[in-house]
Structure 1
Amino acid sequence: MTQIFTETGDANPVTVIKIGPCSITQIKSVATHGYTAIQIGYQPVAKRKLTKPELGHLEKTNAAPFKYLKEYRVPENHTFEVGQIIDVNNFNEGEFVDVTGKSIGKGFAGNMKRHNYGRGPMAHGSKNHREPGSIGMGTTPGRVFPGKKMGGRLGNQNVTISNLKIIKIDIQENLLIVKGAVPGKPGNLLSVRTTNRR
């Protein structure tokens, strides 16, 4: 993350995202797969880094070996072709995008941090400072219902941030500069798709 200053002197918090270049490795159609989608590959690797099934899948379309494959639904009247490169040229300044990625893992967290519970009284006589309080009824049903919000692992989940505005595009370096924050740590693998502003 960094910041960009506008002509009026306002500071905009932005995130710099490196986009591809990605290559289309497969096109799925209603006739063969029951739906329409494209599969794109990112980050070329040596063949020895992939398994034989992965290599066989890519060799069907003469695609290069890629470390990551991701599928995106597209309309039936699309104009994509196998081998087509997808990079920052597929985006426009002023557009809004949805960015999906793994959020930062925070380990085991208590109910206050994980679920925004309120705390108990902090006086010396209180024995309920950061505890969850009641977690269910007594003799009946005599158990804790599944799904009860309690302490546990926090973060490290797929998160989507919607409607991030593209402030600037750097075609030379394949950089997309969007207003706001995106999920995960620096260097995190992200999925970026255009969206209609809601």
Structure 2
Amino acid sequence: MDVGALVEQAQQSLVRTPNRFLGALETGTVTPARLRVLAGELYWLVSSDRRSCALLAERFPSSPLFAGLAEGEEEALRLLLDFAAAVDLSEADLRAYEPRPLAQAYPAFLAQTAAFGPRSALPFALLVNVEESGGYYTRAADALVARYGFTEQAVAHFRFFADTPEEVLKLAVDTVVTGLSEGDYPVALLRVARMVNAYETAFWSTVAD
């Protein structure tokens, strides 16, 4: 099966909605308190995703993608501490932060899929959503620098997720090809990609409210 065609099919099925949080960020109307909410939610999201990728690496040790993704999440978590410090939060503050359930639906679904889903589900969702998700992080980093005076060090977490290396995308394609060849159902991949997109939208909507 043509992975590119399947990705295009999934992208055409996505429901696109304006990102209200980023819209407010770009106009400079997000308060410092709201930026602290963003840092807290991202801390719990990335912490969960790191464990989900590590679980996938254990389930599918022949796929080098997942161990690399787990390492990437570890790096993203480290970089997030610089953003947190810029909004006056320590790592202890992040650990004490009470996450909002709807914001954490995204990592919860990733954890469920990592535990019970097919090999190719999350790599396929990555391929489908990488451009939109990366664009969100680019917008966040640019707005934080331009509107709020953050340093590049402080927004390095957002820059990290803004640009997914080509070698990672190639490994994702290879993993999807392997999964499909071993019986993963395309309809399941399409469903996961749509749900990941919807849950990411819910994350940004929740931190905007």
TM-score tier, shorter chain, comes to under 0.3
Name the one with the larger helix percent: 2
Which structure dedicates a bigger proportion of its chain to strand? Answer: 1
> TM-score normalized by structure 1?
0.21
- Of structures 1 and 2, the one scoring higher in RCO (CA 8 A, sep 6+) is 2
